[in-house]
Amino acid sequence: MKKLGAIIVSGFLCLFFINAYAGSWSTKQIGGMSVEIYTPTTSPKLNGKRALMINLHGCGQANTVLRDGGNWVQTANEYGMVVAIPGAPNGGVYSGCWDYYDSNHSRSNRHNDNLIALASTMIDDSAYNIDDAQVY
C-alpha cells in the first residue's frame, strides 16, 4: 500500500512540475488570418530573445490540426521558442491550400503579404520578445 501511495504522489508531482513549465496556446487575428500561437514560459536559448517558428498547414488541413497534433509544445518549451500556426486567409484556395501556385508572386500578394504581416506584427510586439534574426 505504501508503494502505491508513493507512485500516486510521484505521478502527481511530475504532472505538477511539467505543467509549471508549460506555456499556453492562444488564438489571435493577425495579418487577416486566425493564428494559433504557443508562448512558452521557459527562457529563450539565444541572445535572451525568442525564436519564432511559423508553421503552415497543408491543403485540406486546418491550423488547429497542427496545434493539437504538430508536437510543437515540447520543442517550443525546450528552446523557449514562440510557435505561430496561421490558417490560410479566407479559407485558402483549392480546398484550404496556401496560394503558392503560378509565378506572379510579390511581397504584397498571394498570401505573402499576410505572412509578412504576421512575422512583422509578432516581432514588433514586445510581449513576445522575438529576435528578428530567428524567424523560421
Higher per-residue pLDDT: 71 or 2: 71
For residues 128 and 35, give the distance between their C-alpha atoms in angstroms, rounded to a whole number: 14
In this predicted structure, what is the pLDDT of residue 111?
Answer: 79
Q: Which of 53, 59, 103 is nearest to 78 (CA)?
A: 53
The structure's pTM equals 0.81
pLDDT in tens, 78-133: 999 999 999 998 877 777 887 776 677 666 666 799 999 999 999 999 999 999 99
pLDDT per residue over 11-35, tens digit each? 444 444 444 557 999 999 999 999 9
Measured distance CA(42)–CA(76) in Å, rounded:
9
Beta pairing partners, 84: 37, 54
CA distance 116 to 9: 48
